[in-house]
Structure 1
Amino acid sequence: MPNFQSKSHIFDPRPDFPLLISVKRYWDPQTSSNDPDALTLVLAHATGYPKETWEPFIDDLFALVRKQSNIKINDIWSIEAPNHAEMADVNEPVLDWSFRPVFRWDDWTRAIHLVLGGYGFGIDVDLRKRNLVAVGHSMGAVCLMLTTTHHPALPWSSFILVEPMFWPKSPQSDAIHEFLAGGSKKRRDVWPSLGEVRETFLTKKAWRAWDPRTFDLHLKYGFKPVDPNQPDGAVTLSTSKANEFACFNDPHGTSIGYRFLSTFIKKNHTHVIYGAIPDYIPGDLREDILKNVSGGIDRFASVSLVEKAGHLVTVTHPKQLADTVYQRLQETASPRSVVAVAKL
């Protein structure tokens, strides 16, 4: 059982933005602090994953805070892309009208900015008064970065980018894009039951590598009944293939993040975390990002590796990621340091 409490919110920014946004707040009653310098973490997930797959990471992070009291965390907010999971069905008429076959990453960026800026209804907390720390994975990392291009500015104190999904336009990056987008189009999306999903997935090495907690949460939130009147019958993906593909099909998300990095890092205290295994993002692209595009690796607050993990570090190694993020939170206000950068 997780040792935190949570509350779900549906944020309504209409008419300024046409999509409803699902947000979940987490806090630890034992350690939650209202001090002005307490941190509020904002989480943004990777393409295709529900916001709840962060929960093992959250649980492990809170456990570290309980053991060591030198970091104060008020709460944690996980914001879901509005074409994903919980709100996908509710937003479907609008998504079908203007957010497919391309869902721009900047549309999720705008959604995040609206939530944190309070430009809508459904959240009774003024997050503009908080000491915000961004923790984003893959596409979510880039979208959090890009919130700094929207105005008015949000009160970010630091950014923790986990396997940020950006790269230059090249034949190599085109091949990665084809692999990811093509995989989403070919993905199976209907099973006779949730039990069969579990059985089928556990025959594959990639799924067995997941932390059991994230695996169970993905089954719970990543799938839904084909017929709502038959909850024990056939299931399908809560984030449809079409919506996942629409995110991968944005031709600008990865390149905009790549080109923006050198400007972004001049203004923002930025940590980068990679899995030690360069699977989705090849090692030479990492080297280019860290040493060339950024203007030099020493311009990052820190660069860390999570051992034995690859791009899907949030779901395969949530405890190790929580350990690494906890260390980075300790350094948020400290002089810049570079750690664990060898053999990228």
Structure 2
Amino acid sequence: MSMRIAGVRPVRSAKKFHWRLAQQPRHTYGSMRMSASFRQVEHTISGSHTREYLGATANGDDDVPQLAVKQYIPLNNPRPQPGDVTIIGAHANGFPKVSPLPAFGLWPEDPNSQELTISAGVYCQTHAFPASWFDHARDLMNLINSKQDDIRHAIAGIRHSMGGTQLCLLSLMHPRLLDSLVLIEPVIQMQNGGVIPAVLSTRRRDAWPSTQEAVSKFKGTKFYQAWDPRVLDRWVKYGLRRGPTELYPEADGEQATLTTTKHQELFTFLRPTYRSESADAIVDRDPLGAGIPGVSVLPARAGTRLPAGTGPAPQHAEKMARTGTGVGGSGGAEAGRVRQAVLDCGHLVAMEKVAESADAIGEFLGEDLARQSKERKKFGRRWKEKTRREQFTIDERWASEVKPSSLDGRGTKL
């Protein structure tokens, strides 16, 4: 079983799957783009009804945020078939959704030799002022509900940082929706994880005389030098825009600024509850606060609902032991459903370790989804063996177990 990560092509071997870099010429046709392997279709759909905070949009509830969605359809598999895989992606804070695509768009190299093929990949970005990480989880649910014909099981969620957290929140809302999850450094923690990046981003530069000067500055810093060159190229292409903008209305056509403003990025790390005009200030006073008066930490709010996330190495074993073990979970590591891979890099795994990430993702998804496919087929066979009446009526065991002596809940094994 092998899959392709956009820009990275799988090579089948006897023992494991390896990944090699692939160059793909692109041609733009309006809202579609073609490559040697897939057709790219762009969609715009409405976000979920009602944001968590009234101040999340400029005009409150009268605004309907829009999601920019890119769908990647393999040319050799244009119509989803039973058993195909749809990949859902959600971007990290401050990064355009396309910047880490070299590590996240998986496609089959040879459809005739695959046990598992990819039907579509979907990547989303919200055109709104992020105020709650839960909003985008609901947006993803709305997207999947709106595109049921295109998004078929098996559905795998793959994402980095904030996007990984949002996929977890989506899974909490609907535990059986995503068949597999690959979480790359998801920000799920009780500590004030949003404070340090917010301090750094508050003082970051966000405007340059030209795109060329911005690129020169990027390539001269160790932070960007660690990135895969293809990821950096995408960051330059999609992470920068020319003026004038709403933030810099006086900028000329040569001046460059960030596509996602640093202010949007900051309001996603921390929420300024001290603003008197906020109708949400009272209900949003956070006992897990950042240690900064009037500020709520959004990653910590996610941490109260989820058992795993970033953190020191000693915590990894505990997180591995807990993940997937709750009611409605996968069974966890004991059932072979949870594993971890640690790569030699920092938080920006998706930008720095493209091939290594692809190898780990492909190995896990290949095994996990193949196992689920077998279970689904086994269930289908057993279900078809039942008569229609057996499918919708109680059986003898139910009748024998659910009886007056079980009213206190202790007399039944069901």
* Same fold flag (TM > 0.5): yes
In the alignment, residue 156 of structure 2 is paired with which amino acid?
A: V
| Residue number in structure 2 paired with 1:11 | 45
Write the distance in 2 (CA, Å) between the matches of 1:27 and 1:107: 27
Write the distance in 2 (CA, Å) between the matches of 1:324 and 1:207: 23
| Residue number in structure 1 paired with 2:356 | 320
Instruction: Give the counterpart of 1:73 among 118, 140, 148.
Output: 118
Summarize the alignment of residues 91-130 of structure 1 with structure 2, pairs less than 5 Å apart.
Answer: 91=128, 95=129, 103-118=131-146, 126-127=149-150, 129-130=152-153
In the alignment, residue 197 of structure 2 is paired with which amino acid?
A: L
In the alignment, residue 40 of structure 2 is paired with which amino acid?
A: S
The range that moved more, 134-143 or 246-255, is: 246-255
| Residue number in structure 1 paired with 2:230 | 213
Instruction: Give the counterpart of 1:132 among 155, 161, 171.
Output: 155
Summarize the alignment of residues 330-341 of structure 1 with structure 2, pairs less than 5 Å apart.
Answer: 330-333=366-369
In structure 2, the CA distance between the partners of 1:190 and 1:315, relative to structure 1 (3 Å rule), is same
Q: Find out whether 1:156 has 2:173 as its counterpart.
A: no
Measured after TM superposition, the shift of residue 257 of structure 1 is 3.7
| Residue number in structure 1 paired with 2:345 | 309
| Residue number in structure 2 paired with 1:277 | none
In structure 2, the CA distance between the partners of 1:31 and 1:57, relative to structure 1 (3 Å rule), is farther
Once the two structures are superposed, what CA deviation does each residue of 1:272-328 show, in whole Å capped at 9, x if it has no partner? 9xxxxxxx7432343443346776853662323253332211111222212211111
Write the distance in 2 (CA, Å) between the matches of 1:260 and 1:32: 38
Measured after TM superposition, the shift of residue 25 of structure 1 is 0.6
In the alignment, residue 299 of structure 2 is paired with which amino acid?
A: T
Instruction: Give the counterpart of 1:290 among 299, 320, 335.
Output: 320
Q: Find out whether 1:62 has 2:107 as its counterpart.
A: yes
| Residue number in structure 2 paired with 1:329 | 365
Write the distance in 2 (CA, Å) between the matches of 1:335 and 1:130: 14
Write the distance in 2 (CA, Å) between the matches of 1:290 and 1:49: 28
Q: Could you list the runs of 4 or more consecutive aligned residues of structure 1 that deviate by over 6 angstroms after TM superposition?
A: 228-231, 293-296
The range that moved more, 105-114 or 286-295, is: 286-295
Write the distance in 1 (CA, Å) between the matches of 2:181 and 2:306: 12
The answer to whether the Cα contact below 8 Å between 1:259 and 1:293 also exists between their aligned partners in 2 is: no
Write the distance in 1 (CA, Å) between the matches of 2:336 and 2:252: 48
Residue 224 of structure 1 aligns to a residue in which SS? strand
The range that moved more, 316-325 or 196-205, is: 316-325
In structure 2, the CA distance between the partners of 1:149 and 1:292, relative to structure 1 (3 Å rule), is closer
Summarize the alignment of residues 161-176 of structure 1 with structure 2, pairs less than 5 Å apart.
Answer: 161-168=183-190, 173-174=191-192, 176=193
Once the two structures are superposed, what CA deviation does each residue of 1:146-177 show, in whole Å capped at 9, x if it has no partner? 113436x7632121111111112xxxx33x43
The answer to whether the Cα contact below 8 Å between 1:116 and 1:154 also exists between their aligned partners in 2 is: no
Residue 87 of structure 2 aligns to a residue in which SS? strand
Identity of aligned residues (%): 24
In structure 2, the CA distance between the partners of 1:70 and 1:246, relative to structure 1 (3 Å rule), is same
Measured after TM superposition, the shift of residue 38 of structure 1 is 0.4
| Residue number in structure 2 paired with 1:23 | 69
Once the two structures are superposed, what CA deviation does each residue of 1:190-214 show, in whole Å capped at 9, x if it has no partner? 0111111111011111211111111
The range that moved more, 210-219 or 298-307, is: 298-307
| Residue number in structure 1 paired with 2:258 | 237
The answer to whether the Cα contact below 8 Å between 1:7 and 1:26 also exists between their aligned partners in 2 is: yes
| Structure 1 or 2: more helix by fraction | 1
In structure 2, the CA distance between the partners of 1:306 and 1:282, relative to structure 1 (3 Å rule), is closer
The range that moved more, 321-330 or 305-314, is: 305-314
In structure 2, the CA distance between the partners of 1:299 and 1:204, relative to structure 1 (3 Å rule), is farther
Could you state the TM-score of these two structures normalised by the residue count of structure 2? Answer: 0.62
Write the distance in 2 (CA, Å) between the matches of 1:116 and 1:257: 22
Write the distance in 2 (CA, Å) between the matches of 1:45 and 1:258: 19
Residue 260 of structure 1 aligns to a residue in which SS? coil
Measured after TM superposition, the shift of residue 188 of structure 1 is 0.7
In structure 2, the CA distance between the partners of 1:162 and 1:64, relative to structure 1 (3 Å rule), is farther
Instruction: Give the counterpart of 2:166 among 143, 161, 167.
Output: 143
Measured after TM superposition, the shift of residue 20 of structure 1 is 0.7
Once the two structures are superposed, what CA deviation does each residue of 1:80-117 show, in whole Å capped at 9, x if it has no partner? 1x2xxxx3xxx4xxx4xxx5xxx111011111111111
The answer to whether the Cα contact below 8 Å between 2:324 and 2:338 also exists between their aligned partners in 1 is: no
Could you state the TM-score of these two structures normalised by the residue count of structure 1? Answer: 0.74
The answer to whether the Cα contact below 8 Å between 1:32 and 1:73 also exists between their aligned partners in 2 is: no
Unaligned runs of at least 5 residues, structure 1:
266-271, 273-279, 337-344
In the alignment, residue 346 of structure 2 is paired with which amino acid?
A: G
Write the distance in 2 (CA, Å) between the matches of 1:67 and 1:55: 25
In the alignment, residue 114 of structure 1 is paired with which amino acid?
A: N
Write the distance in 2 (CA, Å) between the matches of 1:127 and 1:148: 19
Unaligned runs of at least 5 residues, structure 2:
1-22, 25-35, 52-63, 272-295, 326-331, 373-414
| Residue number in structure 1 paired with 2:267 | 246
In the alignment, residue 41 of structure 2 is paired with which amino acid?
A: K
Residue 327 of structure 1 aligns to a residue in which SS? helix
Write the distance in 2 (CA, Å) between the matches of 1:247 and 1:139: 9
In structure 2, the CA distance between the partners of 1:45 and 1:68, relative to structure 1 (3 Å rule), is farther
